[in-house]
Amino acid sequence: MNAVEIEQAVSDLFEQPFDPEEFPYQFLEAFGNKSTTIKKLRKGTTNKSDVAGGVLQRNNIHIAVCDPGMVDATMPALRESPATTSQKAKFILATDGQALHAENLLDDAEPPLICEYAKVSDHFGYFLELAGITTVKQIRENAFDIKATSRLNKLYIELLRENPDWGTPERREDLNHFFARLIFCFFAEDTNIFHGDGLFTATIEQMSESSGADTHEIISELFRSMNTPLKEREGQGFRPWAGQFPYVNGGLFSDNLDVPRFSKLARSYMIHIGHLDWKQINPDIFGSM
């Protein structure tokens, strides 16, 4: 599994209801462990844990699921466990389904991970060594970029399914340009370039039909507004919800303002992407637009 696939698997896991008995195995599976490996751990054949509720995979990680409110007390037990040392665990992890704490035992400079259970997918890069990915520092620093890429890829595929003509050589550049505009809008609404937090996503969510049937029309009108200087908007028939967007110079919204048609699923994907925290995006991405 590559980093994008792992991010998707981790996100899927932490969006599901917490299952204390299954969590250690689900977590390891999300990082690419094969079913045969998981089966041996379940049977206890390779599970070397000496901590209650624990699963220890040699040379990898010692995981313990604990009772609510006992995460802080469980971490020292994992850290001081003779099995953690003898089995050369790289990580220890404790969770009660509400909070999750983890430590990288091989890197003293790496601070512990302490976060809400539901937000672990934002920190999936912390554990990439479990999947044998050694460029962890670079990937961890760009973990949001990977998450965003994964989500954008799903939207890209769905839009091509709905608009096969946009996948032809003649229109491929139009689709790429459309995504460049989307990425800018997601970034702008989270960094006060637009007036109001989440304005772009909220406008689409509120003004378009849930079926996605008119989503392309709403987005096209927003792009038209961003391509028109404020002093030139009078008499142009802008709807109030579009007129509140600022003019964006630089040519990003000039030329063809066509927008691909959206299915209900594509609209859902886009709104979900918009709700990510785009302040975390690496700004270098805009240098390639």
Q: What number is the average pLDDT over the span 3-13?
A: 85
185 with 275, same domain: the answer is: yes
What integer is the mean pLDDT of 102-121? 89
Mark whether 252 and 135 lie in a shared domain.
no
Say which residue, 143 or 178, is predicted with more confidence: 178
End residue of a domain, out of 141, 159, 192: 141
For residue 127, is pLDDT > 60? yes
Place of tokens 């038209």: 224
- The answer to whether residue 138 scores a pLDDT higher than 90 is no
Both 149 and 270 in a single domain?
yes
Query: How many whole angstroms separate alpha carbon 272 and alpha carbon 204?
Result: 12
Residues 118 and 216 grouped into a single domain: no
Calculate mean pLDDT across residues 152-160: 88
What is the reported pLDDT for 283? 63
pLDDT of residue 135: 47
**Mean per-residue pLDDT for 18-22?**
96
* One-letter amino acid of 222: L
The whole-chain average pLDDT of the chain stands at 88
Nearest CA to 164 out of 74, 275, 261 is that of 261
Give the domain-ending residue among 114, 141, 168: 141
Same domain membership, residue 134 and residue 239: no
Mean pLDDT of 24-50: 94
Strands (E), the chain: 54-57, 61-65, 91-95, 99-104, 113-116
Which of residues 129 and 38 earns the better pLDDT score? 38
Count of domains for the chain = 2
Structure tokens at 13: 């896991």
pTM over 0.85: no
Do 105 and 170 lie in a common domain? no
- Mean pLDDT score, 223-242: 90
Residue-wise DSSP of 240-281: HHHHTSPP--SSTT-S--------HHHHHHHHHHHTS-GGGS
Residues 101 and 217 both lie in one domain: no
Exposed/middle/buried for residue 131 (C-beta within 10 Å: 0-12, 13-18, 19+) = buried
User: Counting Cβ atoms within 10 Å, is residue 133 exposed (0-12), middle (13-18) or buried (19+)?
Assistant: middle
8: domain range?
Answer: 3-141
What integer pLDDT is reported at residue 276 of this predicted model?
Answer: 87
- Domain end among 126, 141, 156: 141
Shared domain for 21 and 65, answered yes or no, is yes
Residue 224 has pLDDT above 50, yes or no: yes
For residues 8 and 86, membership in a common domain is answered with yes
243, amino acid identity? G
Q: Residue 115 and residue 195: Cα distance in Å, rounded?
A: 31
